[in-house]
Chain A
Amino acid sequence: MRRSLVILRLVIVTLIVTYLGSLSVIPAGSQVTAPVKADSVRMAVIGDMGTGETPQYEVSQRMMGAHTTFPFDFVIMLGDNIYGGSTPKDFNLKFSIPYKPLLDAGVKFYASLGNHDNTNESLYAPYNMNGATYYTFKKGNVRFFALNSNYMDPKQLAWLENELKSAGDGDWKVCYFHHPLYSSAKTHGSSVDLRHVLEPIFTKYHVDVVFSGHDHVYERIKPQNGIYYFTEGASGELRPGDLNQSSITAKGFDSDNTFMLVEFAGSQMNFQTISRSGQSVDSGVIERQVRKSANSSQPELPAIDGGLSFALARTFKIIDLEN
């Protein structure tokens, strides 16, 4: 019996070592379309990734492959970072092992919490949450706001409004959190009560882009009131066929796992969504329009509800390179 256990342990260790060794062989990735400009802000986006299963590992390999030609400095995590418990073993299998090559390359991770996450993940140093469940940080000319959509209480709303106001209108404003305000997926769909409290703040203070997860698909939403929304909830988990593309869908993909690459260079945001198999499923460029503060005499941008062509003319210019 004891001999069998020893052999079993040896097999497991050998498998892990073999896997880690295989990570040095970067799979041939799809061509990264972002320009990789000097002094740009480059990141990857993953959501609902923490399964510890093969698809998560394969996505992370694909990310490492992309990193060789698109050296992103950090990753934003859209929640459900760890499924099924928060023991040390869970953190190893579902975070520190699959992303080891990126962590070793100095890539930082900035997490937000999903409904499967333990609040004390905020104390886990590699998540860079500094003990807070919502926080803000800046990279170049991009201000990020990581929110806790599990518990959007008046205190967090007041903090967000104050931070967005203080940030002014000079930089990109990117918010990310777990529950999507707009989603065409069947299982969860749009978080309408969250939208009811957040969207007015986002529009008032000119948030540019919002990333969320929770629905295990990829979806780019047509700009809503001048704001671009992305759902990236398929970086480990996946619900094939769950996307019920609707009038608000600009692009959707639900047949394989995905992650995103994003580059901010001046007033442009390049993005590309890549599948686990290396297929480029979406890409484009968003041109940010500098807008005045809420108190300015300049008229507010009209509300946009599916009117993509009008949005393109007035707010953002996007070139869909996939079509």
Chain B
Amino acid sequence: MKKQATTSIKLTSMKLLIGLLATGGTFTAPRALSSTQTQEARDTHGYKDFHDRIEEYEKLHKNAEKSLPRLKKTSKQEVIAAQQEALVQKVRELRSNARQGDIFTPAAREEIARKIKVVYTGADAHRVQNTIQAGDPLAGFKVEVNQKYPDGLTSTTVPPTLLQKLPELPDEVTYRILGSTLLLVDRKANLIIDFMPNAIP
């Protein structure tokens, strides 16, 4: 009996020692986060914040669509235009207090700027720059939240390499680039829902 108790104590001690070694002695003092881990924590926070706000917008868009006649294919362009306009008005109504930065929060902007910088300082930089510069020039357009993307204004191609690095968006929302500004646009309403100035170097 005594021998079994001794063996048991030894095993427990071994387990405790292994546990201590595995945790690197954290019981002794708290360990400061490395700069990489701090960066990861910021990235996670920025991304999560952006993701949550985009999800909120996605729900808002779906609610707006549900309250209107369904956008169906038609031979009548005036019907498409009217349906789009109705969606625009509904989204504006549901987001009457929307401001720049509601989705592109400071943390999200910081993370996205960092991702863009990685692309612009890497091997893909010249290809991405060429794609954006090849877009038709911007014709004196002032970007505002809840504003329609002007009918007839050309779209600069969003470089595929950049799209692979930016946070993923739901089907209802798309990135667009106007000059150096990165926009979030409601695809069906063609409505600017937020923007990030000086995002594109």
A interface residues (Cβ-Cβ under 8 A, vs B): 83-88, 90-91, 115-116, 118-120, 122-126, 129-131, 149-155, 157, 179, 188-189, 191-194, 196-197
Contact = CB atoms under 8 A, between A and B. Distances in A.
Contacts of A179: 157
Contacts of B127: 192-193, 196
Interface string B62-84: 00000000011111111011001
Contacts of A86: 77, 81, 151-152
A216 to B, nearest CB: 13
A189 to B, nearest CB: 8
A119 B75 CA distance: 15
Interface stretch (B21-29, B33-41, B97-105, B128-136): B128-136
Nearest to B164: A154
Given A88-B81, A123-B80, A193-B131, 7 more contacts: A88-B78, A123-B71, A153-B169, A191-B131, A191-B134, A192-B130, A192-B131
Given A115-B136, A119-B190, A124 B73 contact: yes
A157 B160 contact: yes
Contact of B124 (A85, A130, A193, A194): A193
Contact of A153 (B78, B156, B163, B188): B163
Nearest to A86: B151
Contacts of A131: 71-73
B158 A151 contact: yes
Given A119-B187, A120-B190, A149 B157 contact: yes
A116 B158 contact: no
15 contacts: A87-B81, A88-B78, A90-B77, A115-B156, A123-B74, A124-B74, A130-B73, A150-B157, A152-B163, A153-B160, A155-B168, A193-B124, A193-B128, A193-B130, A196-B161
B78 to A, nearest CB: 5
Interface string B115-128: 00000000010011
A88 B77 contact: yes
Contacts of B160: 152-153, 157, 193-194, 196-197
B13 interface: no
A113 to B, nearest CB: 9
Q: Which residue, B72, B74, B157, B187, has most C-beta atoms of chain A within 10 A?
A: B157
A157 B174 CA distance: 15
B154 interface: yes
A233 B151 CA distance: 22
Nearest to A128: B73
Contacts of B164: 154, 197
Q: Return the 6 tightest CB-CB contacts between A and B, nearest first.
A: A85-B152, A193-B127, A152-B160, A91-B77, A197-B160, A88-B77
Nearest to B130: A192
Contact of A116 (B72, B128, B154): B154
A115 B154 contact: yes
B190 A151 contact: no
Contacts of B157: 115, 149-151, 179, 191, 194
A151 B151 contact: no
A68 B158 CA distance: 41
B44 interface: no
B155 interface: yes
B117 to A, nearest CB: 17
B151 A118 contact: yes
A118 B189 CA distance: 11
Contacts of A129: 73
A87 B152 CA distance: 10
Contacts of B187: 119
B86 to A, nearest CB: 13
Interface in B130-166: 130-131, 134-136, 151-152, 154-161, 163-164
B130 to A, nearest CB: 6
Contacts of A125: 73-75
Contacts of B81: 86-88
Contacts of A124: 73-75, 77, 80
A193 B134 CA distance: 11
A226 to B, nearest CB: 22
Q: Which residue, A119, A154, A194, has most C-beta atoms of chain B within 10 A?
A: A119
Nearest to A84: B152
A197 B164 CA distance: 10
B67 to A, nearest CB: 19
A153 B187 CA distance: 14
Contacts of B168: 154-155
B127 to A, nearest CB: 4
